Structure 1
Amino acid sequence: MGRFPDEGHSLLRKPKAMRFRFIEEHCRDVPTSRLCRVMNVSERVLRDYRSRPASRGQRTDMVSLAHIKEQSRLGLGSYGRPRMTEKLKELGLNVEHRRVERLMRENGIRVERSKKYKVMTDSNHAFNIAPNLLNRDFSADQPNQKWAGDISYVWTREGWLYLAVILDLHSRCVIGWAVSNRMKRDLAIRALKMAIALRQPPKGCIHHTDRGSQYCSHDYQKILRQHEFQVSLSCM
């Protein structure tokens, strides 16, 4: 039986969403029943949480946050709330400054570029690895020339969620996304299918991601081949 992580005891007075997150992160090493008992949540409540679909508010938060993260990266962490709200409106997002302020605060996105989210990448797999076609060149002369995918674990007002997005590197806009409170196998696929349905990309569009197992899986790569993408994977 696995040793119970020391940091778990400090979460007992935290919201249930944070305790659920702790359970999800450690359930491979410690029995779920024990985690639930120590975290003071019932297994039934945990099952309900796992099966609950993302709410409308969560979905809005996730899409807004994906844009905020990308704009913060492009601005080298120099965007505060007013400038960030302005940039999002330039991209066509009808987002209030209060939502932007809250999402930036809850996720540690500030001028100092301190992050609360973390990227979840499982590159320890036996799938085939494609070359890195971008080689750090994330510019694009036209739409549907280069796409990039990413999966993050981020905080919303209703708890922690996984977010999969597809970005068009020409506009830096999110063109496909999917959310879940668990890292489901089809999460990345749902984001990709949304982007394909929206954009109908031409043959040869570059699709760039990290080497995570979700992107290198046979099912994901099959869709890329069917739509004649050029597959590009980061070196790390």
Structure 2
Amino acid sequence: MKYAFVRDHAAQYPIRRLCRTVGASPSGYYAWLNRAESRRSKANRTLLAQIETVHFDSRQTYGPIRIHRELHSQGSTAGLNRIARLKREAGLRTRQALVWQQAGRGRTFEHIVEHRLLRRFYADRPNERWVADITFIPTAQGWLYLSVIMDLYSRLIVGWAMDKKPSQELATLALEMSLGRRAKPIGLLLHTDQGVQYRTARYQALLAQNNIQPSMSRKGNCHDNAAMESFFHTLKTEHVRHHKYRTFDEARQSLFDYIEVFYNRQRRHSYLAYMTPFEYERLHAVS
């Protein structure tokens, strides 16, 4: 892959400088260049071009998992490990929001609970299992943070909140909205990651007041909350990536329209036999 990097950038930079950068010799590069390219090498070069397209289309925010899912949706059969390796070797770095780096400093284990959801991304009735997460949306004024709660029974987004910063109240506001819509659920399990927003005293008190059993993903394991990861992937690939938000207000209105008008009421979901979340709940007489 070192030589492939030199070849792919030879039009922009001198060969000797590129070879020094990757720790290769010019003679070795030319010898490699004159050999017939293998079928695997050609396939990797084609796949890397696809990875680079997704990487930059996502504004460099997608890691290997989301790139893998995006390419899979386009018909690629490449495995996750192969994509991760090619991405790493090509030096494609995922852009992280500064807030997540800061959140790890001085981390405590207060209010962290066990993983009770156990990847059961389904429910036999409404208000049995909810999942929640927070993501960030790019605007010209900075990141807009979006907190969302989904009912796994119908995939309906039952609550959400937005703010210019990842405040500790953000997750609580989304939970308050969900409880306002769903009254007081009985026997509800709510799954999140271990983010500080889910470990505040106010959030924990709200869970206790409503007899909601908390569950948290294991550290660094995004698959434990795959249903929410899937929703954010859908939101960003179907909607956000096609907009360039100039202001926070423009982004808020656009996200509201996608969640409440399109996703909940119009978008047909394969998991629901191609019904919308509202149709599914209405068919099953959810009040």
Which structure has greater helix proportion?
A: 2
**Larger RCO (CA under 8 A, 6+ residues apart):** 1
TM score, norm. by length of structure 2: 0.40
TM-score, scaled to structure 1: 0.49
Based on CA coordinates, which of the two structures has the bigger radius of gyration? 2
